[in-house]
Amino acid sequence: MQTHEIRRRFLDHFVKAGHTEVPSASLILADPNLLFVNAGMVPFVPFFLGQQTPPYDRATSVQKCVRTLDIEEVGKTTRHNTFFQMAGNFSFGDYFKEEAIAFAWSLLTGSVEDGGYGIDPEKLWVTVYLDDDEAFAIWRDKMNVPEARIQRRGMKDNYWSMGIPGPCGPCSEIFYDRGPEYGVEGGPEADEDRYIEIWNLVFMQNERGVGISKDDYPILGPLPKKNIDTGMGVERVAFLLQGVENVYETDLLRPVIDKAAELTGALYGDKHEDDVHFRVIADHARTAAMLIVDGVNPGNDGRGYVLRRLLRRIVRSARLLGADRPTMAEFMAVVRDTMAPSYPELATNFARIETVAVGEETAFLKTLGTGSKLFEGAVDAAKAEGRTVLGGTAAFTLHDTYGFPIDLTLEMASEAGLSVDEDGFRSLMAEQRQRAKDDARARKHAHADMTVYKELLDRGPTEFTGFGELVTEAHVL
Ligand code: ATP
Ligand code: MG
Ligand code: MG
Ligand code: MG
């Protein structure tokens, strides 16, 4: 079943059950605390918090999501994309646990002729929160899931809150067993690579107060109106239904892998290391296109930095696979062709997507070769001196002169078995910022006219705050 169809069937299933179909929100919301929308419920937060009254009791959507926390996982696990589509159904004080469970189960296991996904119920496992006997009983008695395939899990996996006082509650998750050739027996508790998480059902039933930590807070009591929030990974269901090996080989991303093979001469499926680069290219090319179309431009901080990092990782991966000329325009064209049936804005805005992505590629290709040489020299020197740490000065020069995002340097260093003196790097960055400020001040005194400000504005944001500080996304589902 094609990914577009999986997406469409989800919406149809819930519309039939009285849900209003709500289009995906942009990846970028006004909230400066949230880097990108990272779950289907994010646009509905004001309804869940009771700050606004929803115009419907039931809604369904397929929300565009970006999770920067998963960047390092891409290509290494079978199931993590940086951009993915989260399909969800939401109840605002309307139906609760039993209906939410029954809706999910009937879509997953319903026959293909009747609009379902036709998954064999024997392949599915479920989890519930430790003391959620109600959910446990619904799975066992109403859905007829054998007790042996229902696992109880603790706070970390199966209890949801937004990290602030307000609604919270237990979750129940659905997993697909890929079979013994993919790992050990024993359900998701034993092996999340064999048992792939596909759907999270959140039962918002309690209100929490202020706690001492993200996971330690008082439950004040039951909510007056209970809500349902669910999220199903469209890419994960596609990977499992299409019988491929991972989320990068589905109908939406495999064509990018094939294009990369054609352009670089490398073979997919030949060497693990190369395969990771192929998957990184496929995943990141799509994420970059989706970010650009939602208005992000490459930059040195915040959202722009994430986009820059993704684009530069693509360039580096293509290089490592053997590309000796630019490839970005062709990757973007494949993304457009596979994704436009669900996201026509990729076709209508293609010229801009191409210009931005190729611009970044051109800039990075100019310095990638010399930067890599400098990097290798620094690694050799460190190793020759018996050091396991790459100096902050090298990292700073790579960033400042060659445009290597610090995370790329960290990654390359770790591939070479070294760590990086990040404190040294940061203090050099801070010194540079101070110099820039002093310069600006000196120039302001020199000519007290508006051109100074204009120049600063033209230059754009130059402050670099480090990737670690950018991961501000609340883990909301
Ligand atoms: P995992 O444990 O596999 O990292 P998660 O628990 O972080 O997943 P949730 O936050 O519960 O995921 O999100 C709801 C659903 O969205 C998941 O059940 C999964 O199907 C999908 N999903 C989450 N993260 C990703 C991702 N990086 N790529 C593709 N799908 C994802
Ligand atoms: Mg996760
Ligand atoms: Mg999980
Ligand atoms: Mg989950």
- Confidence check: pLDDT of 89 > 80: yes
Check pLDDT > 60 for residue 440.
yes
Give how far Cα 203 sits from Cα of 29, 60, 162, 407, Å: 25, 16, 13, 37
- pLDDT, mean of residues 224-246: 97
Note the pLDDT of residue 467. 31
Say yes or no: CB of residue 86 within 6 Å of ligand 1. Answer: yes
Q: How confident is the model at residue 350 (pLDDT cuts 50, 70, 90)?
A: very high
- Tell me how far the alpha carbon of residue 140 lies from the centroid of ligand 2, in angstroms: 27
* Residue-level pLDDT at 444: 64
CA atoms within 13 A on the CB side of 55: 3
| Ligand 1 close to Cβ of residue 166 (< 6 A) | no
Are 240 and 176 in contact, with CB atoms under 8 Å apart? yes
User: Is residue 453 predicted with pLDDT exceeding 70?
Assistant: no
| Lowest-pLDDT range of 182-191, 212-221, 364-373 | 212-221
Written as one string, the DSSP assignment of 200-217 is EEEEEEEEE---SBTTB-
Nearest CA to ligand 1 atom 4: 80
Torsion angle of C-alpha atoms 64, 67, 71, 72, degrees rounded to 10: -140
Residue 191 region by backbone torsions, left for phi larger than 0, else alpha for psi between -120 and 50, else beta: beta
pLDDT per residue as tens digits for the range 288-314 = 999 999 999 999 889 999 999 999 999
Confidence of residue 468 (pLDDT cuts 50, 70, 90): very low
What does DSSP say about strands 58-66 and 219-233: parallel, antiparallel, or unpaired?
Answer: unpaired
Chain length of the chain: 477
Q: Which two tokens stand for residue 58?
A: 């039931």
Task: Find, among 395, 416, 401, 418, the residue nearest to 467 by Cα.
Answer: 395
Determine whether the shortest distance from the Cβ of 70 to ligand 1 is under 6 A.
yes
**Fold topology of 3-241:** BirA Bifunctional Protein; domain 2 (3.30.930)
Ligand 1 atom with the shortest distance to the CA of 73: 27
84 lines ligand 1 (CB under 6 A): yes
ipTM score here?
A: 0.99
Residue to mutate, 41, 236, 286, ligand 1, most ligand atoms under 8 Å from C-beta: 236
Q: Ligand 4 center to residue 230 CA distance, Å?
A: 10
Query: Which pLDDT band holds residue 213 (cuts at 50, 70, 90)?
Result: confident
- Torsion sign over Cα 63, 69, 75, 80: negative
DSSP code of residue 118: -
Instruction: Say how far apart CA 252 and CA 5 lie, in whole Å.
Output: 12
Tell whether ligand 1 has an atom less than 6 A from the beta carbon of residue 200. yes
Ligand 1 closest atom vs CA 196 = 3
* Residues around the ion ligand 4 (C-beta < 5 A): 200
This model's pTM is above 0.90: no
CA 200 to ligand 4 centroid distance, Å: 5
Instruction: Report the nearest atom of ligand 1 relative to the CA of 77.
Output: 3
Q: Whose CA is nearest to atom 27 of ligand 1?
A: 80
How far does residue 79's CA lie from ligand 1's centre (Å)?
8
The Cα 244–Cα 277 span in angstroms is 18
Q: From CA 54, how far away is CA 57, in angstroms rounded?
A: 7
For the chain, what are the domain ranges?
3-241, 254-422+465-470
pLDDT tens column, 33-53:
899 999 999 999 999 988 899
What's the token pair of residue 12? 């149809």
Q: How confident is the model at residue 224 (pLDDT cuts 50, 70, 90)?
A: confident
Q: Is the pLDDT of residue 457 over 90?
A: no
Q: Does residue 477 carry a pLDDT above 60?
A: no
| Helix or strand run (H / E) with residue 5 | helix 3-16
Tokens 């995943």 locate to: 283
Helix then strand then coil, % of the chain, to nearest 5: 50, 15, 35
**What percent of the chain has pLDDT above 70?**
93
Q: Are the C-beta atoms of 206 and 223 separated by less than 8 Å?
A: yes
Dist. CA 139–CA 133, nearest whole Å:
10
